[in-house]
Amino acid sequence: MNSRDNLIYMANQIARNFATLDDAAAANAIAAHIVKYWDPRMRVKIIDSLEQNESKLLPVSRNAVAVLRDTHQSDAP
């Protein structure tokens, strides 16, 4: 799998491990995990996947990446 698909897979995999949380909590937990452990380039790429309406992202992953994008934008200088 190429690196973009791999990042989508990774985001979805994190999502599946937070499946017992409600949607909002899951999205925040996934986003927090990505912020804590992913290199900024990986984060940009996964946000880019959301912008491109990537269909492989699970719904909860999409919500999480949206949280990530909003945080990313608010943190931008």
Partner 1 sequence: MGYEPQKDFGTPASRSEKTITLTIDGEKINVPEGTSVMRAAAEMDTHIPKLCATDNIKSFGSCRLCLVEIDDVRGTPASCTTPVANGMAVHTQTPKLQKLRKGVMELYISDHPLDCLTCSANNDCELQDEAAAVGLRDVRYGYEGENHLGLETDSSNPYFDFDPSKCIACSRCVRACDEVQGTYALTIEGRGFGSMVSAGTPIDDFMSSECVSCGACVQACPTATLQEKSVKEIGLPDKSVITTCAYCGVGCTFRAEMRGEQLVRMVPWKDGKANRGHSCVKGRFAWGYANHKERILNPMIRESIDQPWREVSWEEAFSHAASEIQRIQEKYGTRSVGGITSSRCTNEETFLVQKLIRAGFHNNNVDTCARVCHSPTGYGLKTTFGTSAGTQDFDSVEQSDVMLVIGANPTDAHPVFASRMKKRLREGAKLIVIDPRRIDLVRMPHVEAAHHLPLQPGTNVAVLTSLAHVIVTEGLVDEAFIRERCDWDEYQDWARFVSDESHSPEHLEAITKVPAEELRRAARLYATGGKSAIYYGLGVTEHSQGSSTVMAIANLAMATGNIGRPGVGVNPLRGQNNVQGACDMGSFPHELSGYRHVSDRATRKLFEDDWGVTLDPEPGLRIPNMLDAAVDGEFKALYVQGEDILQSDPNTKHVAAGLEAMECVIVHDLFLNETANYAHIFLPGSTFLEKDGTFTNAERRIQLVRKVMEPMNGLQDWEVTQELARAMGLDWNYAHPSQIMDEVARLTPTFAGVSFDRLGELGSIQWPANDATPDGTPVMHETGFVRGKGKFVVTDYVPTDEKTGPRFPLLLTTGRILSQYNVGAQTRRTENSRWHEEDILEMHPSDAENRGLKTGDWTNLASRSGETTLRLLVTDRVAPGVVYTTFHHPATQANVVTTEFSDWATNCPEYKVTAVQISPSNGPSDWQEDYEAHSERARRIEIPESAE
List of residues contacting partner 1 (CB under 8 A): 1, 3, 6, 10, 13-14, 16-17, 19-20, 33, 36-42
- Least CB distance from residue 35 to partner 1, whole Å? 8
Closer by beta carbon to partner 1, 19 or else 73: 19
Q: What are the angstrom distances between the C-alpha of 71 and each of 18, 21, 53, 66?
A: 20, 21, 19, 8
- Least CB distance from residue 61 to partner 1, whole Å? 12
